[in-house]
Amino acid sequence: MRPEDILKFSLADFTYNDSETVLDPPRDFETWTSDPRIGVAMSFFEQPLQQAPTPRTTLDHRLSGGNREMINLTSYNYLGLSTHPEVVQAAIDALQTYGVGASGAAMLSGTFDQHEKFAAELAEFKGRDACMLYPSGYAGNLGAIQALMQRGDVLVIDSKCHRSVVDGVKLSGARLVSFEHNDAQSLDAMLERHKDSRRMVVVEGVYSMDGDLADLPPIAEVCEHHGVPLYVDEAHSTLVFGDTGKGVVEHFDVEDKVGVDFGTLSKSFGGIGGFVCADENVIRYMKCYASPFQFSCALPPAVVAAMRKSLEVATRDDSLRQKLWANVERFRTNLEALNLDLGESASQVIPIIVGSDGQELIQLAMEAQQRGLYLQPIDFPAVEAHARRFRISVSAQLTDADIDEACNIIEDVIARPTGAVGAA
Ligand SMILES: Cc1ncc(COP(=O)(O)O)c(C=O)c1O
Q: Which domain CATH number covers 278?
A: 3.40.640.10
* Domain-terminating residue out of 316, 334, 352: 316
**195 — pLDDT class (breaks 50, 70, 90):** very high
Q: 189 and 208, same structural domain?
A: yes
Tell how far the Cα of 275 is from the centroid of ligand 1, in angstroms.
11
Distance CA 351, CA 37 (A): 24
Percentage of the chain beyond pLDDT 90 is: 93
pLDDT given at position 424: 47
**Looking at the domain assignment, is residue 391 inside a domain?**
yes
Asked whether 393 lines ligand 1 (CB < 6 A), one says no
Contact 125, 119 (CB under 8 A): no
H or E segment to which residue 378 belongs: strand 377-378
Q: How crowded is residue 378: how many other Cβ atoms within 10 Å of its Cβ?
A: 19
**Looking at the domain assignment, is residue 424 inside a domain?**
no
Closest residue by Cα to atom 16, ligand 1, is: 208
Residues 6+ apart with CB under 8 A from 105: 293, 294, 295, 296, 297, 298
* Domain-terminating residue out of 285, 316, 347: 316
Asked whether 235 lines ligand 1 (CB < 6 A), one says yes
Taking all residues of the chain, what is their mean pLDDT, rounded to a whole number? 96
pLDDT at 63 over 90: no
**Looking at the domain assignment, is residue 32 inside a domain?**
no
Tell how far the Cα of 141 is from the centroid of ligand 1, in angstroms.
8
**Looking at the domain assignment, is residue 36 inside a domain?**
no
| Across 287-314, average pLDDT | 98
Asked whether 266 lines ligand 1 (CB < 6 A), one says yes
Tell how far the Cα of 138 is from the centroid of ligand 1, in angstroms.
6
| Across 11-29, average pLDDT | 93
Largest CA distance in the chain: 65
**Looking at the domain assignment, is residue 99 inside a domain?**
yes
Q: Is the peptide bond before 229 cis (omega within 30 degrees of 0)?
A: no
Tell how far the Cα of 343 is from the centroid of ligand 1, in angstroms.
21
* pTM (2 d.p.): 0.96
Tell how far the Cα of 139 is from the centroid of ligand 1, in angstroms.
9
Tell how far the Cα of 210 is from the centroid of ligand 1, in angstroms.
14
Q: Which amino acid is at 4?
A: E
Asked whether 75 lines ligand 1 (CB < 6 A), one says no
Q: 140 and 193, same structural domain?
A: yes
The residue among 336, 326, 310 whose CA lies nearest residue 399 is 326
Q: Which domain CATH number covers 388?
A: 3.90.1150.10
Closest residue by Cα to atom 7, ligand 1, is: 137
Tell how far the Cα of 418 is from the centroid of ligand 1, in angstroms.
31
pLDDT, one tens digit per residue, over 319-331 is 999 999 999 999 9
Q: 327 and 284, same structural domain?
A: no
Q: 164 and 105, same structural domain?
A: yes
Index of the ligand 1 atom closest to the CA of residue 264: 10
Distance CA 366, CA 360 (A): 10
Asked whether 234 lines ligand 1 (CB < 6 A), one says no
In sequence order, the β-bridge partners of residue 374 are 72
Q: How crowded is residue 264: how many other Cβ atoms within 10 Å of its Cβ?
A: 27
Distance CA 224, CA 257 (A): 7
In sequence order, the β-bridge partners of residue 350 are 392
Q: 193 and 117, same structural domain?
A: yes
**Looking at the domain assignment, is residue 67 inside a domain?**
yes
Tell how far the Cα of 376 is from the centroid of ligand 1, in angstroms.
17
Torsion of CA 79, 83, 87, 88, to 10 degrees: 170
**304 — pLDDT class (breaks 50, 70, 90):** very high
pLDDT, one tens digit per residue, over 256-292 is 999 999 999 999 999 999 999 999 999 999 999 999 9
Tell how far the Cα of 273 is from the centroid of ligand 1, in angstroms.
10
The residue among 375, 354, 278 whose CA lies nearest residue 55 is 375
Asked whether 388 lines ligand 1 (CB < 6 A), one says no
**66 — pLDDT class (breaks 50, 70, 90):** confident
* Domain-terminating residue out of 258, 291, 316: 316
Closest residue by Cα to atom 8, ligand 1, is: 137
Out of 238, 264, 267, give the residue to mutate to test ligand 1, the one with the largest number of ligand atoms within 8 Å of its CB.
264
Index of the ligand 1 atom closest to the CA of residue 208: 16
Asked whether 84 lines ligand 1 (CB < 6 A), one says no
Tell how far the Cα of 205 is from the centroid of ligand 1, in angstroms.
12
Distance CA 313, CA 24 (A): 50
pLDDT at 423 over 70: no
Contact 139, 183 (CB under 8 A): no
Asked whether 348 lines ligand 1 (CB < 6 A), one says no
| Across 173-197, average pLDDT | 98
pLDDT, one tens digit per residue, over 357-380 is 899 999 999 999 999 999 999 999
Give SS3 for 395: coil
pLDDT given at position 61: 86
Give SS3 for 351: strand
Q: How far is CA 119 from CA 30, 49, 273, 278, 346, in A?
A: 46, 31, 12, 12, 30
pLDDT, one tens digit per residue, over 388-422 is 999 999 999 999 999 999 999 999 999 988 887 76
**Looking at the domain assignment, is residue 35 inside a domain?**
no
Q: 256 and 135, same structural domain?
A: yes
Q: 88 and 62, same structural domain?
A: no
Q: 278 and 258, same structural domain?
A: yes
pLDDT given at position 351: 98
Q: Which amino acid is at 117?
A: K
Asked whether 160 lines ligand 1 (CB < 6 A), one says no
**Looking at the domain assignment, is residue 161 inside a domain?**
yes
Tell how far the Cα of 201 is from the centroid of ligand 1, in angstroms.
18
Q: 300 and 323, same structural domain?
A: no
Q: 328 and 200, same structural domain?
A: no
Give the domain extent around 204: 84-316
**139 — pLDDT class (breaks 50, 70, 90):** very high
Q: 139 and 121, same structural domain?
A: yes
| Across 124-140, average pLDDT | 98
Q: Which amino acid is at 112?
A: F
Q: How crowded is residue 314: how many other Cβ atoms within 10 Å of its Cβ?
A: 27
Angle at 244 between CA 242 and CA 250, to 5 degrees: 35
Q: 334 and 279, same structural domain?
A: no
Number of domains in the chain: 2
Distance CA 384, CA 361 (A): 13
Asked whether 237 lines ligand 1 (CB < 6 A), one says no
